[in-house]
Protein backbone atom coordinates (compact mmCIF):
# COMPACT_ATOMS: atom_id res chain seq x y z
CA UNK A 1 0.00 0.00 0.00
CA UNK A 2 1.38 3.38 -0.98
CA UNK A 3 2.33 5.82 1.75
CA UNK A 4 3.40 9.37 0.99
CA UNK A 5 4.92 11.12 3.95
CA UNK A 6 4.31 14.59 2.53
CA UNK A 7 1.18 16.33 1.31
CA UNK A 8 0.39 15.23 -2.24
CA UNK A 9 -0.76 18.78 -2.98
CA UNK A 10 2.87 19.90 -2.70
CA UNK A 11 3.84 20.60 -6.34
CA UNK A 12 7.32 19.23 -5.70
CA UNK A 13 5.83 15.81 -4.95
CA UNK A 14 3.84 15.87 -8.17
CA UNK A 15 6.95 16.92 -10.06
CA UNK A 16 9.03 14.12 -8.52
CA UNK A 17 6.46 11.50 -9.49
CA UNK A 18 6.56 12.79 -13.07
CA UNK A 19 10.36 12.87 -13.07
CA UNK A 20 10.49 9.28 -11.83
CA UNK A 21 8.19 8.10 -14.59
CA UNK A 22 10.13 9.98 -17.27
CA UNK A 23 13.28 8.23 -16.11
CA UNK A 24 11.81 4.74 -15.85
CA UNK A 25 11.25 4.71 -12.10
CA UNK A 26 7.47 4.00 -12.05
CA UNK A 27 5.69 6.03 -9.42
CA UNK A 28 3.27 3.11 -9.01
CA UNK A 29 6.01 1.33 -7.07
CA UNK A 30 6.49 4.27 -4.76
CA UNK A 31 6.58 3.60 -1.05
CA UNK A 32 7.46 6.99 0.39
CA UNK A 33 8.81 10.44 -0.20
CA UNK A 34 10.21 12.24 2.80
CA UNK A 35 11.94 15.54 3.21
CA UNK A 36 15.40 15.24 4.72
CA UNK A 37 17.52 17.85 6.41
CA UNK A 38 20.70 19.58 5.30
CA UNK A 39 23.46 21.18 7.35
CA UNK A 40 24.29 24.58 5.90
CA UNK A 41 22.70 24.23 2.48
CA UNK A 42 19.58 26.09 1.34
CA UNK A 43 18.81 23.40 -1.22
CA UNK A 44 15.86 21.07 -0.52
CA UNK A 45 16.36 17.30 -0.24
CA UNK A 46 13.88 14.44 -0.53
CA UNK A 47 14.45 10.72 -0.02
CA UNK A 48 12.44 8.52 -2.38
CA UNK A 49 11.97 4.83 -1.56
CA UNK A 50 10.56 2.25 -3.98
CA UNK A 51 9.42 -1.35 -3.88
CA UNK A 52 12.42 -2.74 -5.75
CA UNK A 53 14.69 -1.72 -2.86
CA UNK A 54 15.72 1.36 -4.85
CA UNK A 55 16.33 4.49 -2.83
CA UNK A 56 17.06 7.86 -4.37
CA UNK A 57 17.74 11.37 -3.14
CA UNK A 58 16.20 14.26 -5.05
CA UNK A 59 17.86 17.65 -4.71
CA UNK A 60 15.98 20.85 -5.55
CA UNK A 61 18.09 23.98 -6.09
CA UNK A 62 17.90 27.00 -3.80
CA UNK A 63 15.13 28.98 -5.45
CA UNK A 64 16.12 32.15 -3.58
CA UNK A 65 19.69 32.09 -4.86
CA UNK A 66 20.00 33.94 -8.18
CA UNK A 67 22.44 31.28 -9.37
CA UNK A 68 20.78 28.24 -7.81
CA UNK A 69 20.24 26.52 -11.16
CA UNK A 70 23.87 27.14 -12.12
CA UNK A 71 24.92 25.40 -8.91
CA UNK A 72 22.64 22.48 -9.77
CA UNK A 73 24.06 22.18 -13.27
CA UNK A 74 27.59 22.22 -11.81
CA UNK A 75 26.64 19.39 -9.44
CA UNK A 76 25.26 17.39 -12.37
CA UNK A 77 28.16 17.91 -14.76
CA UNK A 78 30.94 17.62 -12.17
CA UNK A 79 29.25 14.61 -10.59
CA UNK A 80 28.97 12.84 -13.94
CA UNK A 81 32.63 13.53 -14.65
CA UNK A 82 33.88 12.35 -11.27
CA UNK A 83 31.77 9.19 -11.44
CA UNK A 84 33.24 8.42 -14.88
CA UNK A 85 36.72 8.71 -13.32
CA UNK A 86 35.80 6.14 -10.64
CA UNK A 87 35.80 8.76 -7.89
CA UNK A 88 33.60 7.56 -5.04
CA UNK A 89 30.67 9.90 -5.60
CA UNK A 90 26.96 8.96 -5.87
CA UNK A 91 25.62 7.92 -9.22
CA UNK A 92 23.35 10.45 -10.91
CA UNK A 93 20.18 8.92 -12.36
CA UNK A 94 18.44 11.97 -13.75
CA UNK A 95 18.67 15.74 -14.15
CA UNK A 96 15.85 18.09 -15.03
CA UNK A 97 17.36 21.01 -16.92
CA UNK A 98 14.32 23.28 -16.57
CA UNK A 99 14.03 23.21 -12.78
CA UNK A 100 17.49 21.96 -11.88
CA UNK A 101 16.44 18.89 -9.87
CA UNK A 102 18.91 16.00 -9.63
CA UNK A 103 18.15 12.38 -8.73
CA UNK A 104 21.14 10.91 -6.90
CA UNK A 105 21.91 7.44 -5.62
CA UNK A 106 20.91 7.37 -1.94
CA UNK A 107 23.97 6.87 0.29
CA UNK A 108 22.05 6.63 3.56
CA UNK A 109 22.39 8.64 6.76
CA UNK A 110 25.79 7.59 8.14
CA UNK A 111 28.44 10.23 7.59
CA UNK A 112 32.02 9.92 8.79
CA UNK A 113 31.45 11.98 11.95
CA UNK A 114 28.60 9.71 13.03
CA UNK A 115 30.53 6.52 12.25
CA UNK A 116 33.46 7.75 14.35
CA UNK A 117 31.08 8.48 17.23
CA UNK A 118 29.71 4.94 16.93
CA UNK A 119 33.06 3.22 16.45
CA UNK A 120 35.86 5.46 17.78
CA UNK A 121 38.33 2.59 17.57
CA UNK A 122 38.11 2.75 13.77
CA UNK A 123 39.02 6.43 13.54
CA UNK A 124 42.42 6.03 11.89
CA UNK A 125 41.22 3.25 9.59
CA UNK A 126 38.23 5.27 8.40
CA UNK A 127 40.24 8.44 7.94
CA UNK A 128 42.82 6.59 5.89
CA UNK A 129 40.02 5.35 3.64
CA UNK A 130 38.73 8.93 3.36
CA UNK A 131 42.22 10.08 2.37
CA UNK A 132 42.39 7.39 -0.31
CA UNK A 133 39.06 8.63 -1.68
CA UNK A 134 40.31 12.23 -1.55
CA UNK A 135 43.45 11.41 -3.54
CA UNK A 136 41.33 9.69 -6.16
CA UNK A 137 39.19 12.82 -6.46
CA UNK A 138 42.20 15.15 -6.59
CA UNK A 139 44.30 13.18 -9.07
CA UNK A 140 42.08 10.75 -10.99
CA UNK A 141 39.38 13.42 -11.39
CA UNK A 142 41.79 15.95 -12.90
CA UNK A 143 42.02 14.82 -16.57
CA UNK A 144 39.28 16.55 -18.57
CA UNK A 145 37.81 18.12 -15.45
CA UNK A 146 34.91 20.30 -16.72
CA UNK A 147 36.33 23.65 -15.67
CA UNK A 148 33.65 25.46 -17.69
CA UNK A 149 30.99 23.88 -15.45
CA UNK A 150 32.28 25.45 -12.22
CA UNK A 151 29.46 27.70 -11.11
CA UNK A 152 31.31 29.63 -8.42
CA UNK A 153 34.92 30.17 -9.49
CA UNK A 154 37.02 27.89 -11.68
CA UNK A 155 40.04 28.06 -9.37
CA UNK A 156 40.92 28.56 -5.75
CA UNK A 157 42.91 31.79 -5.86
CA UNK A 158 44.06 34.81 -3.87
CA UNK A 159 40.87 36.79 -4.50
CA UNK A 160 38.74 33.98 -3.09
CA UNK A 161 40.99 33.73 -0.01
CA UNK A 162 40.77 37.42 0.73
CA UNK A 163 37.04 37.77 0.15
CA UNK A 164 35.55 34.50 1.31
CA UNK A 165 38.00 33.15 3.84
CA UNK A 166 39.93 35.82 5.73
CA UNK A 167 37.31 38.40 4.73
CA UNK A 168 34.53 36.06 5.86
CA UNK A 169 36.31 35.61 9.19
CA UNK A 170 36.66 39.37 9.63
CA UNK A 171 33.08 40.29 8.79
CA UNK A 172 30.90 37.35 9.79
CA UNK A 173 32.84 36.12 12.81
CA UNK A 174 34.67 39.11 14.27
CA UNK A 175 32.32 41.99 13.45
CA UNK A 176 28.87 40.41 13.21
CA UNK A 177 29.12 37.49 15.62
CA UNK A 178 31.53 38.83 18.24
CA UNK A 179 30.98 42.57 17.76
CA UNK A 180 34.73 43.24 17.69
CA UNK A 181 36.64 46.07 16.11
CA UNK A 182 39.17 44.88 13.56
CA UNK A 183 42.73 45.71 14.67
CA UNK A 184 45.03 47.66 12.38
CA UNK A 185 47.35 45.50 10.38
CA UNK A 186 45.10 42.45 10.18
CA UNK A 187 44.35 42.89 6.47
CA UNK A 188 48.08 43.21 5.74
CA UNK A 189 48.69 39.91 7.52
CA UNK A 190 45.91 38.26 5.56
CA UNK A 191 47.49 39.53 2.32
CA UNK A 192 50.76 37.92 3.37
CA UNK A 193 49.02 34.67 4.32
CA UNK A 194 47.26 34.51 0.95
CA UNK A 195 50.60 35.07 -0.74
CA UNK A 196 52.06 32.10 1.13
CA UNK A 197 49.09 29.89 0.29
CA UNK A 198 49.12 30.73 -3.42
CA UNK A 199 52.66 29.42 -3.82
CA UNK A 200 51.29 25.88 -3.93
CA UNK A 201 50.57 24.30 -7.34
CA UNK A 202 46.83 24.73 -7.92
CA UNK A 203 46.09 22.28 -10.69
CA UNK A 204 44.29 19.49 -8.83
CA UNK A 205 40.58 18.91 -8.24
CA UNK A 206 39.52 20.77 -5.12
CA UNK A 207 36.28 19.84 -3.31
CA UNK A 208 36.52 22.87 -0.97
CA UNK A 209 34.27 21.43 1.73
CA UNK A 210 35.87 18.06 2.32
CA UNK A 211 34.90 17.39 5.92
CA UNK A 212 33.40 14.56 7.94
CA UNK A 213 29.75 15.44 7.34
CA UNK A 214 30.27 15.48 3.57
CA UNK A 215 31.80 12.00 3.62
CA UNK A 216 29.33 9.14 3.81
CA UNK A 217 30.05 5.59 4.93
CA UNK A 218 27.71 3.48 2.82
CA UNK A 219 27.86 -0.31 2.93
CA UNK A 220 31.34 -0.03 4.38
CA UNK A 221 32.63 2.24 1.59
CA UNK A 222 33.65 5.90 1.81
CA UNK A 223 31.54 8.07 -0.53
CA UNK A 224 31.89 11.79 -1.23
CA UNK A 225 28.95 14.20 -1.48
CA UNK A 226 28.41 17.97 -1.86
CA UNK A 227 30.98 18.34 -4.64
CA UNK A 228 29.03 21.03 -6.53
CA UNK A 229 31.60 23.66 -5.49
CA UNK A 230 34.54 21.71 -6.94
CA UNK A 231 37.16 23.62 -8.89
CA UNK A 232 40.94 23.47 -9.37
CA UNK A 233 43.25 24.21 -6.48
CA UNK A 234 46.15 22.99 -4.33
CA UNK A 235 46.34 19.50 -2.86
CA UNK A 236 46.73 20.62 0.74
CA UNK A 237 43.47 22.53 1.13
CA UNK A 238 41.05 19.59 1.16
CA UNK A 239 43.39 17.58 3.36
CA UNK A 240 43.51 20.44 5.84
CA UNK A 241 39.73 20.73 5.66
CA UNK A 242 39.46 17.07 6.64
CA UNK A 243 42.07 17.08 9.40
CA UNK A 244 41.12 20.31 11.21
CA UNK A 245 37.38 19.66 10.87
CA UNK A 246 35.91 20.62 14.29
CA UNK A 247 33.00 18.17 13.98
CA UNK A 248 35.31 15.29 14.90
CA UNK A 249 38.11 17.29 16.50
CA UNK A 250 41.18 15.20 15.68
CA UNK A 251 44.05 15.57 18.16
CA UNK A 252 47.37 17.01 16.92
CA UNK A 253 48.92 13.53 17.04
CA UNK A 254 46.06 12.09 14.98
CA UNK A 255 46.40 14.91 12.47
CA UNK A 256 50.15 14.32 12.12
CA UNK A 257 49.68 10.57 11.68
CA UNK A 258 47.11 11.10 8.93
CA UNK A 259 49.17 13.82 7.29
CA UNK A 260 52.07 11.34 7.05
CA UNK A 261 49.70 8.75 5.58
CA UNK A 262 48.52 11.24 2.95
CA UNK A 263 52.07 12.19 1.99
CA UNK A 264 53.06 8.56 1.56
CA UNK A 265 50.03 7.71 -0.54
CA UNK A 266 50.31 10.89 -2.64
CA UNK A 267 54.03 10.29 -3.32
CA UNK A 268 53.17 6.86 -4.72
CA UNK A 269 50.96 8.50 -7.37
CA UNK A 270 52.59 11.82 -8.25
CA UNK A 271 55.94 13.59 -7.94
CA UNK A 272 55.58 15.24 -4.54
CA UNK A 273 58.21 17.11 -2.55
CA UNK A 274 57.39 16.63 1.14
CA UNK A 275 59.06 19.84 2.35
CA UNK A 276 57.45 21.99 -0.32
CA UNK A 277 54.06 20.46 0.42
CA UNK A 278 54.34 21.07 4.16
CA UNK A 279 55.53 24.64 3.60
CA UNK A 280 52.20 25.41 1.99
CA UNK A 281 49.97 22.98 3.85
CA UNK A 282 49.80 24.92 7.11
CA UNK A 283 49.08 28.20 5.34
CA UNK A 284 46.19 26.47 3.57
CA UNK A 285 45.05 25.00 6.90
CA UNK A 286 45.04 28.50 8.39
CA UNK A 287 43.01 29.79 5.43
CA UNK A 288 40.52 26.95 5.89
CA UNK A 289 40.25 27.59 9.62
CA UNK A 290 39.39 31.24 8.97
CA UNK A 291 36.70 30.12 6.51
CA UNK A 292 35.24 27.67 9.03
CA UNK A 293 34.81 30.37 11.66
CA UNK A 294 33.26 32.79 9.20
CA UNK A 295 30.84 30.16 7.90
CA UNK A 296 29.82 28.82 11.32
CA UNK A 297 29.23 32.31 12.67
CA UNK A 298 27.15 33.28 9.64
CA UNK A 299 25.06 30.11 9.73
CA UNK A 300 24.47 30.34 13.48
CA UNK A 301 23.68 34.05 13.64
CA UNK A 302 22.12 34.85 10.27
CA UNK A 303 20.51 31.55 9.26
CA UNK A 304 19.46 30.38 12.74
CA UNK A 305 21.37 27.11 12.25
CA UNK A 306 22.21 26.77 15.93
CA UNK A 307 23.83 23.38 15.36
CA UNK A 308 26.99 25.19 14.25
CA UNK A 309 27.38 27.33 17.35
CA UNK A 310 28.89 24.57 19.50
CA UNK A 311 31.69 24.00 17.00
CA UNK A 312 32.90 27.61 17.00
CA UNK A 313 34.93 27.20 20.20
CA UNK A 314 36.90 24.17 18.97
CA UNK A 315 37.58 26.03 15.71
CA UNK A 316 38.99 29.00 17.65
CA UNK A 317 41.31 26.68 19.56
CA UNK A 318 42.36 25.02 16.33
CA UNK A 319 43.21 28.41 14.83
CA UNK A 320 45.27 29.30 17.89
CA UNK A 321 47.10 25.96 17.76
CA UNK A 322 48.02 26.44 14.11
CA UNK A 323 49.39 29.91 14.83
CA UNK A 324 51.37 28.75 17.85
CA UNK A 325 52.83 25.52 16.45
CA UNK A 326 52.87 25.43 12.66
CA UNK A 327 53.05 28.91 11.15
CA UNK A 328 56.59 30.17 10.58
CA UNK A 329 55.51 33.71 9.75
CA UNK A 330 54.77 35.98 12.68
CA UNK A 331 51.17 37.07 12.38
CA UNK A 332 51.24 39.13 15.55
CA UNK A 333 47.96 40.96 14.97
CA UNK A 334 45.98 37.80 14.20
CA UNK A 335 47.63 35.91 17.06
CA UNK A 336 46.75 38.70 19.47
CA UNK A 337 43.15 38.80 18.27
CA UNK A 338 42.78 35.03 18.60
CA UNK A 339 44.34 35.07 22.07
CA UNK A 340 41.82 37.74 23.09
CA UNK A 341 38.92 35.70 21.71
CA UNK A 342 40.24 32.54 23.33
CA UNK A 343 40.20 34.17 26.77
CA UNK A 344 36.51 34.90 26.37
CA UNK A 345 35.49 31.32 25.69
CA UNK A 346 36.01 27.89 27.21
CA UNK A 347 37.03 24.88 25.10
CA UNK A 348 34.44 22.20 24.38
CA UNK A 349 34.66 19.08 22.21
CA UNK A 350 38.31 19.88 21.65
CA UNK A 351 41.37 17.65 22.07
CA UNK A 352 43.87 20.49 21.64
- Structure confidence at residue 245 (pLDDT): 97
Residue pair 264/131 in contact by the 8 Å Cβ criterion: no
SS3 275: helix
Per-residue pLDDT tens over the stretch 257-300: 999 999 999 999 999 999 999 989 999 999 999 999 999 999 99
Comparison of pLDDT for 33 and 323, the residue scoring more: 323
Residue pair 31/2 in contact by the 8 Å Cβ criterion: yes
pLDDT bucket at 7, cuts 50 / 70 / 90: low
Distance CA 150, CA 84 (A): 17
pLDDT bucket at 1, cuts 50 / 70 / 90: very low
Residue 200: is its pLDDT beyond 70? yes
Q: Write out the residue limits of the CATH 3.30.200.20 domain(s) in the chain.
A: 11-105
Least confidently predicted of 52-61, 106-115, 276-285: 52-61
**CB contact set of 154 (below 8 Å; sequence gap of 6+):** 147, 148, 231, 232
Residue 4: is its pLDDT beyond 50? no
Least confidently predicted of 183-192, 285-294, 338-347: 338-347
Beta bridge partners of 34: 47
Residue pair 55/47 in contact by the 8 Å Cβ criterion: yes
Distance CA 282, CA 165 (A): 15
From the candidate CATH numbers 3.30.200.20, 3.40.50.300, 1.10.3720.10, 3.40.50.2020, the one assigned to the domain spanning 11-105:
3.30.200.20
**What mean pLDDT do residues 125-139 have?**
98
From the candidate CATH numbers 2.30.30.140, 3.40.50.720, 3.90.1200.10, 3.40.47.10, the one assigned to the domain spanning 112-344:
3.90.1200.10
- pTM, two decimals, is 0.93
Tell which residue, 107, 30, 102, has the closest CA to residue 72. 102
pLDDT more than 90, % of the chain: 78
Q: What are phi and psi of 195, to 5 degrees?
A: -65, -40
Per-residue pLDDT tens over the stretch 13-49: 889 888 988 988 765 555 688 888 878 788 999 998 8
pLDDT bucket at 352, cuts 50 / 70 / 90: very low
- Structure confidence at residue 6 (pLDDT): 53
Tell which residue, 227, 231, 221, 209, has the closest CA to residue 292. 209
pLDDT more than 70, % of the chain: 93
Most confident of 12-26, 43-57, 192-206: 192-206
Q: Write out the residue limits of the CATH 3.90.1200.10 domain(s) in the chain.
A: 112-344
Amino acid sequence: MEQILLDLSDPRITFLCELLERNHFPSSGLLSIEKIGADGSSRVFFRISQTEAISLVAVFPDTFHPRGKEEAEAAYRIGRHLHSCFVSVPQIYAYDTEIGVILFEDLGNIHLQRRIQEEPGKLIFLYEKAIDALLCLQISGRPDFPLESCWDTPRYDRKLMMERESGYFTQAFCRDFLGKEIPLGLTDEFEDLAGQATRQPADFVLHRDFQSRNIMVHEGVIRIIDFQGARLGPLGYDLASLLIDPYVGLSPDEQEQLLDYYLGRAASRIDLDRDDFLAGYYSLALQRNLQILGAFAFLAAKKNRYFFRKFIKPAVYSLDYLLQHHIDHDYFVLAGLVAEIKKEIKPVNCKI
